[in-house]
Amino acid sequence: METVIQNIQGVPLNHYILFCSLIFSIGVIGVLIRRNVIIIMMSVELMLNSVNLLLAAFSVHWGDASGQVFVFFIMALAAAEVAVGLAIIVMVYRNTRSVDINALNRLRG
């Protein structure tokens, strides 16, 4: 166990930044190209979680707890947002019988 922790501490900060940027980019691309609302929501969660990871890494790097406290704020927000978002999706599904984003094209101009 000791060696595992030492190995983890040996990972440079740059790797965390690159890793989180990659996950964030996957999330952004997911939101932009997927058409299923549920998957878009999952991609948004991916974006938020990459930020959580990055904040935790920076927090350790600076030896400052406020970054980790911020992670809790983001988790609470993500939970609230998912609750509201799923409610909205259920409401839309009841009217359109679809969770495809292409069904939402009545407003134009």
Partner 1 sequence: MSAIITLSLLAILLLYLGLFKAKAALLPVSLLGLVATLVMYGTDWAKDAEPRYNGMVLFDQYAVAFSILCVGVTALVLLLSKNYFDKASTHVAEYYALILFSLTGALLVVSFHNLAMLFIGMEIMSVALYILAGIRKKDFASNEAALKYFLMGAFSTGFLLFGIALLYGATGSFDLAAIKSHVVDNPHGVSPLFHGGILLLIVGLAFKVGAAPFHFWTPDVYDGAPILITTFMSTVVKTAAFAGFLRLFAFCFVPLQDFWMPVLLVITIVTLFVGNITAIVQQSFKRMLAYSSISHAGYMLFAIVAIGATSAESILVYAGAYSLASVVAFGSLILVKRATGSDHFEAFNGLAKKNPYLALAITVAMLSLAGIPLTAGFVGKFMMFSGVLADYQVLLVILAAVNAAMGIFYYFRVIVAMYFRPLDRDQIAVAGEYRVVLIVAVLITLVLGVYPAWVAGLL
Binding site for partner 1 (CB under 8 A): 13, 17, 20, 24, 27-28, 31, 37, 40-41, 44, 47-48, 50-51, 54-55, 58, 61-62, 64, 66-67, 69-70, 73-74, 77, 80-81, 84-85, 87-89, 91-92, 95-96, 101, 104, 106-107, 109
Q: Do the beta carbons of residue 53 and residue 16 sit within 8 Å?
A: yes
**Other Cβ atoms within 10 Å of 84 Cβ, number:** 10
- Least distance (Å) between residue 5 CB and partner 1: 22
Return the number of the residue (11 or 77) whose C-beta is nearest partner 1.
77
Indicate the residue among 5 and 57 with the shorter CB distance to partner 1. 57
Token couple for 5: 């922790």
CA distance 99 to 91: 10
Report the distance separating Cα 43 and Cα 22, nearest Å: 13
